Amino acid sequence: MNNPKTIAIADYDYPLPEERIAKFPIEQRDRSKLLVCCGDEISETQFFHLPDLLPANSLLLFNDTKVIHARLFFQKTTGSTIEIFCLEPFGMPVAQSFEQRESCTWTCFIGNNRKWKGDPLTRTLHLGGRSVILTAARGEAVGNAWRVEFAWDGGASFAEIIDQAGVIPLPPYLNREAVQSDNERYQTVYALHQGSVAAPTAGLHFTPEVFENLRSRGIATDFITLHVGAGTFKPVSTPTIGGHEMHVERIEISRSNIECLLSLLDHTIIPVGTTTVRTIESVYWFGVKLSQNPALESMHVLQWDPYELDTAALPAAEAFRLVLEWMDRRGTDHLFGDTQLLIAPGYRYRVIDGLVTNFHQPKSTLLLLVSALIGEQWRACYRYALDHGFRFLSYGDSCLFLRPRSRG
């Protein structure tokens, strides 16, 4: 596999006028435009036609993460406002942190940090007709973030606390504050597991009616979880990819997910969204690492693993079997891990045959991921979208990319 470290990010730029960025979603999710690319052919339709465009034996994979109300605002007695942006829990899994009923610690960005002199911050919430005091105490610095310990009374879960106290985070490129409708529209209709600070936006177009049409056509579906971190918006600021540090995201995938993939590897496997791509391809690479060291204690996939590991062309079926055997030895039905996987031109996909995704920012790692799938055809697709009135980024329109099968 070719190593992409020398790729110049300037080669993955394109002109994106501000007015082409969708600041709000359209009224009906599944009435967004859909660009369809199969080989050299590019066409367009509306998203609700997606089930009719998929091969009959397809498996669609979704990321069922749920965006949390990650932005918490505290007012100091001096009048200063401190924003605490919750990134990820410290010392325990995401789900366990949300179940806490007295305190928990998170890694957070802090806005207006200079005005926070050190004393704990407090604010009063109203939950179920009672007042709850929420306290935030700043701990040690972690890079450009901080550990913050939250404590509260009244016995509510942290999931209830943050849902009441926080504001849903929108992508910075929208350049606006969240409004009430974003609480619904910046979530997929199948969002289940809280933990993301950004939505898996390719899924925003799906509706119950689209799912019903998928079922009627015999299209299989399954749901995995990758909690999207703020790093998904991190720009590539180095001239070449080799200098870029990929962000880390947390994965949760069940035994039944892996068994489903294993049983349907002869089907056309199409992830919905780049986070789903990174999840299932990362599980493959964990299997590769297990083939070389079965005694691994946990799942950590590093950004350059695919380009530096000697895979000996390990088939996807064998990689998934090794992961299942590893889970058996530990008596668990859920695989928790993290991935820093960077997918760029030179990467050979091991599991997927296509992708449903939105249009991505210029010079982004997400655009690199798309190029790894369809090659230089991404340029023609994006040029077509710009010429035909497509809306871009999180609240924008979507694409269906299909490619010939070449799975190892």
Query: For residues 84 and 346, what is the distance between their CA atoms, to the nearest angstrom?
Result: 39
Q: Percent of the chain, pLDDT > 70? A: 97
Place 23 in a pLDDT band, splitting at 50, 70 and 90.
very high
Return the pLDDT at 404.
Answer: 63
* CA atoms 391, 392, 394, 399: torsion sign: positive
Strands 41-46 and 71-75: unpaired
Average pLDDT (49-59) is 95
Return the pLDDT at 313.
Answer: 74
Average pLDDT (252-273) is 95
- Distance of CA 172 to CAs 89, 139, 165, 289, Å? 22, 26, 21, 36
**Whose CA is closest to 82, among 135, 125, 126?**
135
Average pLDDT (24-45) is 96
Q: Is the pLDDT of residue 377 over 80?
A: yes
Return the pLDDT at 128.
Answer: 79
Place 405 in a pLDDT band, splitting at 50, 70 and 90.
low
Which stretches does DSSP call E strand in 129-278?
130-142, 145-152, 193-196, 220-227, 249-254, 268-271
Return the pLDDT at 92.
Answer: 86
> Which CATH number is 4-66+186-402 given?
3.40.1780.10
Average pLDDT (70-83) is 91
Place 118 in a pLDDT band, splitting at 50, 70 and 90.
confident
Q: Is 163 exposed, middle or buried (0-12, 13-18, 19+ CB in 10 A)?
A: middle
**SS3 (DSSP) at 294:** coil
Q: Percent of the chain, pLDDT > 90? A: 82
Taking the domains of the chain in order of start, what are their residue ranges? 4-66+186-402, 69-167
Can you name the residues that pair with 221 across neighbouring β-strands? 60
Q: Is the pLDDT of residue 408 over 70?
A: no
Q: Is the pLDDT of residue 242 over 70?
A: yes
Query: For residues 243 and 8, what is the distance between their CA atoms, to the nearest angstrom?
Result: 10
157-196 per-position pLDDT tens digit: 999 999 999 999 999 899 999 999 999 999 999 999 998 9
**Whose CA is closest to 284, among 351, 372, 354?**
351
Q: Is the pLDDT of residue 407 over 70?
A: no
Buried b (16+ CB within 10 A) or exposed e, 366-392: bbbbbbbbbeebbeebbeebbeeebbb
The mean pLDDT of the chain is: 93
Average pLDDT (52-77) is 94
Return the pLDDT at 403.
Answer: 81
Average pLDDT (63-88) is 92
Return the pLDDT at 143.
Answer: 86
Return the pLDDT at 93.
Answer: 84
Return the pLDDT at 233.
Answer: 65
Cβ–Cβ contacts within 10 Å for residue 341, how many?
Answer: 24
278-287 per-position pLDDT tens digit: 999 999 999 9
Query: For residues 368 and 349, what is the distance between their CA atoms, to the nearest angstrom?
Result: 13
Cβ-contact 226, 251 below 8 angstroms:
yes
Strands 121-127 and 130-142: antiparallel
Q: Is the pLDDT of residue 220 over 70?
A: yes
293-339 per-position pLDDT tens digit: 999 999 999 999 999 987 767 999 999 999 999 999 999 999 999 99
* CA atoms 248, 356, 10, 385: torsion sign: negative
Return the pLDDT at 321.
Answer: 98
- Got the DSSP string for 207-243? -HHHHHHHHHTT-EEEEEEEE--GGGG----SSBGGG
Spatial CB neighbours of 148, under 8 Å, sequence gap ≥ 6: 84, 86, 105, 106, 107, 108, 110, 136, 137, 138, 139
Average pLDDT (342-370) is 95
